[in-house]
Structure 1
Amino acid sequence: MLQNEVKKELVELGRAMYDSRSKIAANIQKPLKEYGREQTIREETVLDFQENFIVIISEAFTVNQEEMSQKIAQWAEETSNYAMQIGVTLDQPIETVKDYRSAIWNFIQQETKEQGFSIDTVFETQKIVDPMIDKTVSLLCQKYVSHHQEELKLAQDTFLELSAPVVPITETVAVLPIIGKIDTKRGYKLMDTALQQSDMYNLDYLLLDLSGVSTVDTPSINKIHETVQSLHLLGVKAIICGVRPDLSQTMCSLDIGFDNIEVHGNLRKSLSTLGIFQ
């Protein structure tokens, strides 16, 4: 009997929360100047997100857990996408979720007193509301982390793209200047760039200028060697130039065969050999 009464009161509480969603949302919203983004955050948009969250919480009193999890996940996805789109940092939505909790519980406290709901109903309400809000915080954090990981990867890919430019010298000759440290990931990018650009420019010769290379590891040396061999299969002759003494020692100590690869001391020598620079 007691359990049935609690269920009945939970339904009444959920209905009252739904009917009061606009009022609760208004209590959540902070002045936009607190975010420092008066020009980008629209009050009606923020209120829509807040009211939708209140609706989801109100439905949780009567809808099964799985369906609620899906709705919370969708809300967190849409909210975080909008927040990141306008440049809001993670701490701001997390701080706002705290305001959601306060506003929701203030309403529950007031409604419970006015309607004379039992203490058992309050306990059951806590079991429903707090885990959903905690889950929301977790989902928001996950979305932000995922977004920043994607941005970091994009930035890294862009850097690798810019750090391996093929520079045409003539219609059939180009230079690939390599600067800095060559690690395994960059080695793969260099190979991909060399092959793609050589094919696009229809090159006969590609000069791999290593004069700006600081350090390399064994996989990277192997990748340079593979690049030269792959270019050969495309009908492009690769010439290595600008190998410093310390780098040459490293390459020799790794026992990787460069005997059949043309190597010059500097870029000028390579261009001179091809009759481009005398």
Structure 2
Amino acid sequence: MKELRIRLSDKVTENAEQLAMLITKQQNLRYPSMAKDEGELYPARVELVKLYANALKLDDEERVEVLRKWGQEAGTYFAKKESISLDMMLREVPEYRAFIGTVLKHEGITSQITAEQMYDLTTALDAIVNDVVYYFSLPFVHHEKEILKISQAAIAELSVPIASINDTTAILPLIGVMDFNRGNVLQEKVLKESVRLNLEYLIVDLSGLQTTDTYVAQQLFILFESLSLVGTVPVVSGVTPAIAQTLVGLGLDFGSIKSFATLKQAIRYVA
């Protein structure tokens, strides 16, 4: 069986350029936009066909290591290309399976191998295809997570706007939902801006908050304590009955912090 795999592997390798061209034509028909990247996609497909062929000769441990290394390199490279998506690349997988499988079938019939041997070959090809998909996809997933993380950080920072109303006072309107990422940005950005602007007062307006749960209350408590340490007096506006009840329920002492029902009242206080 080992000799048969080597012979079939060599046959697939001999036809690598032809198989890659067939796959390229199929993909260009399916995704016309990929045609402009044919100059680098075609050689990559030739190498992938050869990779499939070589994997046929390897034992399980060697195959996994070779495909893992290839997937890390190729997946990382193509994940950074904006013109190519993971789903576009994965649509090629059935083409490799079909074309390489056809070569194996033809050579198998010519060599008069048994049905059991053919089954073993197709099972091996399926295992290789599965490993190729898995290891190639991992860098794409990692790249998407990094992009999402950066986007979330940017959105969170934009959701913590500090607006100066004079040389010593600014307003921080908190709008929407306070989640973990936004909470971290809140603590970091607000303190830095308060010091940079040399603020005497920071009005934190809560009227736009959609949730007033335990996490929100704790974040506010930490923020107010931290502002006091850097010399900025926190003033709260938009305190609703729900927020007040949450604070009391948690036993958080906001007694030393001036609070007002409306932003207008808070501004009048610091003026």
TM-score, structure 1 as length reference? 0.83
The structure-2 alpha-carbon separation of the partners of 1:64 and 1:172, relative to structure 1 and needing over 3 Å to count, comes to farther
Q: Which residue of 2 aligns with 1:203?
A: 199
Query: Any gaps of 5 or more consecutive residues in structure 2?
Result: none
Q: Which residue of 2 aligns with 1:157?
A: 153
Q: Which residue of 1 aligns with 2:22?
A: 27
| Residue of structure 2 aligned with 1:57, choices 52, 56, 71 | 52
Secondary structure of residue in 2 paired with 1:42: helix
Residue 223 in structure 1 maps to residue 241 in structure 2: no
Give the distance between the partners of 2:113 and 2:145, measured in 1 at CA: 47
| Residue of structure 2 aligned with 1:234, choices 230, 234, 238 | 230
Query: Any gaps of 5 or more consecutive residues in structure 1?
Result: 1-5
Give the distance between the partners of 1:8 and 1:242, measured in 2 at CA: 79
Give the distance between the partners of 1:254 and 1:8, measured in 2 at CA: 74
- Number of residue equivalences: 268
Give the distance between the partners of 2:259 and 2:199, measured in 1 at CA: 18
Residue 190 in structure 1 maps to residue 186 in structure 2: yes
Determine if contact 1:175/1:206 at 8 Å carries over to the other structure.
yes
Q: Which residue of 1 aligns with 2:99?
A: 103
Determine if contact 2:101/2:122 at 8 Å carries over to the other structure.
no
Q: Which residue of 2 aligns with 1:69?
A: 64
The structure-2 alpha-carbon separation of the partners of 1:90 and 1:184, relative to structure 1 and needing over 3 Å to count, comes to closer
Runs of 4+ in 1 over 6 A off after TM superposition: none
Q: Which residue of 1 aligns with 2:255?
A: 259
Secondary structure of residue in 2 paired with 1:37: helix
Residue 168 in structure 1 maps to residue 170 in structure 2: no
Residue 243 in structure 1 maps to residue 243 in structure 2: no
Give the distance between the partners of 2:258 and 2:79, measured in 1 at CA: 55
Secondary structure of residue in 1 paired with 2:33: coil
How far does residue 140 in structure 1 lie from its aligned partner after superposition? 4.1
The residue correspondences of 1:84-163 to structure 2 (distance < 5 A) are: 85-114=81-110, 116=111, 118-119=113-114, 121-163=117-159
Task: State the AA in 2 paired with 1:76.
Answer: G
How far does residue 183 in structure 1 lie from its aligned partner after superposition? 4.1
Determine if contact 2:153/2:181 at 8 Å carries over to the other structure.
no
Give the distance between the partners of 2:211 and 2:169, measured in 1 at CA: 26
Give the distance between the partners of 1:254 and 1:168, measured in 2 at CA: 31
The structure-2 alpha-carbon separation of the partners of 1:171 and 1:117, relative to structure 1 and needing over 3 Å to count, comes to farther
CA deviation vs aligned residue, 1:140-197 (integer Å, no higher than 9, x gap): 4444444433333333222211111122233332211101233455333322221122
Determine if contact 1:179/1:213 at 8 Å carries over to the other structure.
yes
Give the distance between the partners of 1:185 and 1:42, measured in 2 at CA: 38
How far does residue 79 in structure 1 lie from its aligned partner after superposition? 4.1
TM-score, structure 2 as length reference? 0.85
Secondary structure of residue in 2 paired with 1:23: helix
How far does residue 32 in structure 1 lie from its aligned partner after superposition? 1.5
How far does residue 8 in structure 1 lie from its aligned partner after superposition? 2.4
RMSD: 2.6
